[in-house]
Amino acid sequence: MHHFLKETDFTPEQAQHVFLLAKQFKDDRLNCPQTLKKQSWGLLFYKSSTRTRISFEVGVNELGGFPIVLDSQNTQIGRGETIADTAKVMSQYLHGLVIRTYGHEIVEGFAKHATMPIVNGLTDLNHPCQLYTDIFTLLERYSPEAMDINTLKGKKVVFLGDCASNMANSWIHSAAMFGMEITLAGPEGFAPTHEIDAVLEADGLAKQYVFTTDTKSAAEDADVLCTDVWVSMGDEAEAAKRKAAMTPYQVDGDLLALAKSDAYFLHCLPAHAGEEVSQEVLDSPQSIIFDEAENRLHAQKAIMAKLVELNS
Ligand code: CP
Ligand code: NVA
């Protein structure tokens, strides 16, 4: 069974096809193939969501399928039913399952026991659906017709703030997969961890990212600036400590001015204006955050369609 738990669960060739499919779906949104006809897909949330929940629910519907939104607390998962039993039972009803949860081992556990494709809708480790969307959003600028992934090669991505977060990990992984340069700038204590190094090593990808505490040198000549919240879901107890440490790492107009004049600003949202990013940057013409949010729908429809193809 082919699942999508991390960026490299599709080869670069398969990813290229996903981006072309996503463009086709975006170009003619309501005339997409009914790939999920007569299928029911579960969307299981252990954490809050706006974009992931709505874009998957709408996306399953547009592909001709029936989406069922579930949450861990209102299923027997919340009362201790095992992942193995839940995955086996859900597989008897559903044709696919999107999961947003805490530990990455939970999506891996579902994948091990399910007989339907599992899609990772964010874990503490990574957020691959978001990164396929972010790459698609960049390709719309770099290669609007062919969506050619080779146009990503050598582009400099700079991630600021919590460099040990799921979004930072997914940027590191995607940069390695698509040949982008990546520099991460954040405070000591929030550097990339061995977890992402182990992921790269397991995939045979070189550990080529640069970590620095200096925002200015990082931002120079950037093609893409991106950041994420300083307090991710699950990190609330450390909120004060995190905000204090990361205050110097806000993406503001001065920092954006150090990047290339045609650099783009990305943020997966939700954003906290005045914390990780200034309102000025969120509103600037270089910010493509709302294209990015819209593209969750098109990219995820393509991910689901590709999984159906690979599993048929
Ligand atoms: N970017 C993202 O995953 O948004 P949600 O938390 O709203 O799903
Ligand atoms: N890093 C954030 C991303 C939210 C989409 C979190 O995990 O809360």
Tokens representing 137 are 């959003």
Q: What is the pLDDT of residue 307?
A: 98
Residue in 174, 155, 167 with CA at minimum distance from that of residue 264: 155
Residues 6+ apart with CB under 8 A from 212: 183, 184, 185, 218
Clarify whether 29 is annotated catalytic: no
Both 19 and 93 in one domain: the answer is yes
β-partners of residue 67 are: 41
Residue in 19, 7, 5 with CA at minimum distance from that of residue 172: 7
Question: CB–CB of 243/275 below 8 Å?
Answer: yes
Q: What is the pLDDT of residue 200?
A: 98
- Residue of minimum CA distance from atom 1 in ligand 1: 268
The fraction of the chain above a pLDDT of 90, given in percent, is 100
To test the pocket of ligand 2, the residue of 232, 267, 300 to mutate (highest count of ligand atoms within 8 Å of its CB) is 232
Tokens representing 47 are 């954490």
Both 191 and 282 in one domain: the answer is yes
Clarify whether 226 is annotated catalytic: no
Both 112 and 149 in one domain: the answer is no
Mean pLDDT over 4-28 rounds to: 98
Per-residue model confidence as pLDDT tens digits over 67-119: 999 999 999 999 999 999 999 999 999 999 999 999 999 999 999 999 999 99
Per-residue model confidence as pLDDT tens digits over 125-137: 999 999 999 999 9
3-state secondary structure (DSSP) of residue 215:
helix
Atom of ligand 2 nearest to the CA of 166: 1
Clarify whether 163 is annotated catalytic: no
How far is CA 68 from each of CA 32, 41, 53, 71, 287, rounded to the nearest angstrom? Answer: 20, 6, 10, 10, 33
β-partners of residue 185 are: 160, 212
Both 194 and 181 in one domain: the answer is yes
Band of pLDDT at residue 124, cut at 50, 70 and 90: very high
**Number of domains, the chain:** 2
Does residue 276 form part of some domain? yes
Both 165 and 245 in one domain: the answer is yes
To test the pocket of ligand 1, the residue of 51, 137, 170, 290 to mutate (highest count of ligand atoms within 8 Å of its CB) is 51
How far is CA 77 from each of CA 44, 70, 98, 192, rounded to the nearest angstrom? Answer: 10, 11, 15, 31
Residue in 260, 189, 174, 270 with CA at minimum distance from that of residue 224: 260
Tally Cβ neighbours within 10 Å of residue 88.
14
Per-residue model confidence as pLDDT tens digits over 183-219: 999 999 999 999 999 999 999 999 999 999 999 999 9
Band of pLDDT at residue 294, cut at 50, 70 and 90: very high
How many angstroms separate the alpha carbon of residue 18 from the centre of ligand 1? 20
Q: What is the pLDDT of residue 92?
A: 98
Q: What is the pLDDT of residue 29?
A: 97
Calpha distance 312→36 (Å, rounded): 12
Band of pLDDT at residue 3, cut at 50, 70 and 90: very high
Backbone angles phi, psi at 237, to 5 degrees: -65, -25
Does residue 2 form part of some domain? no
Say which residue the tokens 């990455």 belong to. Answer: 104
Does residue 166 form part of some domain? yes
Q: What is the pLDDT of residue 75?
A: 98
The fraction of the chain above a pLDDT of 70, given in percent, is 100
How far is CA 272 from each of CA 138, 280, 310, rounded to the nearest angstrom? Answer: 23, 12, 38
What is the Cα 252 distance to its own chain's centre?
23
Q: What is the pLDDT of residue 230?
A: 98
Query: Per the confidence metrics, is the pTM higher than 0.95?
Result: yes
Mean pLDDT over 284-293 rounds to: 98
Average pLDDT in the chain:
98
Both 148 and 247 in one domain: the answer is yes
Both 283 and 161 in one domain: the answer is yes
Mean pLDDT over 28-56 rounds to: 98
Q: For position 37, which CATH number holds? A: 3.40.50.1370
Band of pLDDT at residue 175, cut at 50, 70 and 90: very high
Both 118 and 253 in one domain: the answer is no
Instruction: Give, rounded to a whole angstrom, the gap between the first and last alpha carbons of the chain.
Output: 9
Clarify whether 242 is annotated catalytic: no
Catalytic one among 51, 53, 127, 173?
127
Say which residue the tokens 């699950």 belong to. Answer: 234
Both 67 and 136 in one domain: the answer is no
Both 19 and 147 in one domain: the answer is no
Domain housing 283: 130-288
Ligand 2 site: residues with CB under 6 angstroms? Answer: 122, 165-167, 228-229, 232-233, 268
Atom of ligand 2 nearest to the CA of 165: 1
